[in-house]
């Protein structure tokens, strides 16, 4: 809820308390003065946070560019010394300003952890270590987890929450290299993890849970598209499929950790995440089976697979909206409405548009954008307003 809406609500309650004689006019005036100072401080805070965040990003990018520009001129010992110095410098600087500027300290610690990842891969290059790039991601993720355990900062949690699935996905890609039906498992697992992150905020979320919600919200729609269309990236030959034992390991790693994390974050309400897991697997299975609809010498698809994919996407969008309404989460409602709109557009482009003439297809597309977009926005505003009244 916005600060303006919250301010209007407490001001309305204040007038009621004065009218009922619960507080006098002098006390009410002191409350107004206090809230005005609080809102002013909060209003001045976000530009500072934005400046610190952008400054941290630019500082890290500048340092990496400087190192890359002078990398060839350095000896192996000089390169390794420089890598260690960068990692140490940012963390020491963060510790120095931690008491006075905690936000700046968090940004510097995050830059230090980013430099750790660069240092790991550069050290492998310096000493010509055996190439296994997922191992570098694993070491980087361990560093982020250790930093989070020591600092309890949300940037470290966000880095750990991003690097850990990246490491697991990398290990899976390396283990299934040359096998053509491995993408479905990793895509399903990443989508389920994104849903877990998105639904992490329950009961007054902390900064760490808000960071997880942002990560899940940004990744959700791209991952849904990837899961729905993963079978379009190549044809699977039966002789090159993932072995059954490796497939079982892949499914366990793809499904169990996101559901266990959901149980740890949400408690008893994690049963909804189990329902979401069934939806994720069903969405992936719809397109997975489509690969086997090719008859020899034919390029025909069984039409129900495509219809089932769009039906599941629409069902998932409506379910996300209902989930957001049940738990008073505005971001889920917005993402659900956006997902439903994209599902309608995808269905129109892939199934309806090619069956119409050029002018009729453009007219239909215009009507979808104008009338459909207007109705969806009206529905979204009504749902969000209902949430704001409840909270």
The confidence band for 44, taking pLDDT boundaries of 50, 70 and 90, is very low
Q: Write down the residue that tokens 């104008």 correspond to.
A: 370
Across 63-67, 184-188, 234-238, least confident range: 234-238
Please list, residue by residue across 349-364, b when 16 or more beta carbons sit within 10 angstroms of its beta carbon and e when fewer do.
eeeebeeeeeeebeee
Task: Quick: pLDDT tens for 267-318.
Answer: 889 999 999 999 999 988 876 444 444 444 444 444 556 788 888 999 999 9
Per-residue pLDDT, 288: 44
CA 68 to chain centre: 30
Q: Coil, strand, or helix at residue 106?
A: helix
Q: What are the two backbone dihedrals, phi and then psi, of residue 298, each rounded to the nearest 5 degrees? A: -125, 150
CA 268 to CA 253: how far, in whole Å? 22
Please list, residue by residue across 119-137, b when 16 or more beta carbons sit within 10 angstroms of its beta carbon and e when fewer do.
bbbbbbebeeeeeeebbbb
Percentage of residues in the chain with pLDDT exceeding 90? Answer: 24
Task: Quick: pLDDT tens for 272-284.
Answer: 999 999 999 998 8
The confidence band for 252, taking pLDDT boundaries of 50, 70 and 90, is very high
Residue 242, pLDDT > 90, answer: no
pTM above 0.85, yes or no: no
CA 286 to CA 291: how far, in whole Å? 10
CA 103 to CA 56: how far, in whole Å? 11
Rg (C-alpha) for the chain, rounded Å, is: 26
Query: What is the average pLDDT across 116-136?
Result: 73
- As separate numbers, helices (DSSP H) first and strands (DSSP E) second, the chain gives 14, 0
Query: What is the average pLDDT across 242-255?
Result: 89
């Amino acid at each position: 809820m916005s600060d303006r809406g919250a301010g209007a609500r407490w001001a309305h309650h204040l007038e009621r308390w004065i009218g009922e004689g619960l507080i006098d006019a002098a006390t009410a005036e002191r409350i107004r003065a206090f809230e005005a100072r609080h809102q002013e401080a909060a209003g001045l805070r976000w530009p500072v946070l934005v400046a610190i965040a952008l400054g941290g990003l630019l500082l890290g990018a500048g340092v990496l560019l400087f190192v890359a520009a002078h990398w060839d001129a350095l000896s192996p010992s000089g390169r390794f010394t420089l890598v260690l110095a960068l990692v140490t410098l940012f963390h020491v600087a963060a510790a120095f300003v931690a008491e006075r500027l905690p936000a700046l300290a968090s940004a510097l610690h995050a830059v230090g952890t980013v430099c750790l990842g660069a240092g790991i891969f550069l050290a492998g290059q310096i000493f010509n270590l055996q190439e296994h790039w997922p191992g570098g991601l694993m070491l980087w993720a361990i560093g982020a987890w250790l930093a989070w355990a020591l600092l309890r900062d949300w940037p470290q949690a966000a880095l750990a929450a991003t690097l850990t699935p990246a490491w697991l996905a990398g290990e899976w890609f390396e283990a299934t290299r040359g096998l053509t039906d491995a993408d479905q498992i990793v895509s399903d697992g990443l989508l389920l993890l994104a849903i877990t992150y998105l639904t992490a905020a329950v009961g007054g979320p902390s900064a760490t849970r808000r960071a997880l919600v942002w990560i899940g919200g940004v990744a959700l729609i791209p991952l849904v598209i990837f899961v729905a269309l993963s079978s379009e990236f190549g044809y699977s030959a039966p002789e090159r499929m993932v072995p059954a034992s490796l497939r079982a390991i892949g499914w366990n790693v793809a499904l169990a950790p996101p559901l266990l994390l959901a149980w740890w974050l949400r408690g008893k309400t994690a049963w909804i995440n189990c329902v979401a897991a069934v939806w994720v697997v069903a969405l992936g299975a719809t397109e997975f089976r489509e690969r086997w609809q090719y008859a020899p010498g034919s390029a025909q698809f069984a039409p129900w697979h495509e219809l089932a994919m769009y039906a599941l996407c629409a069902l998932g969008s409506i379910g996300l909206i209902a989930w957001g309404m049940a738990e008073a989460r505005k971001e889920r409602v917005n993402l659900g409405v956006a997902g439903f709109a994209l599902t309608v557009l995808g269905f129109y482009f892939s199934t309806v548009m090619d069956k119409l003439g050029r002018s009729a297809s453009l007219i239909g597309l215009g009507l979808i954008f104008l009338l459909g977009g207007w109705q969806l926005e009206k529905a979204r505003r009504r749902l969000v307003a209902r949430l704001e009244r409840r909270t």
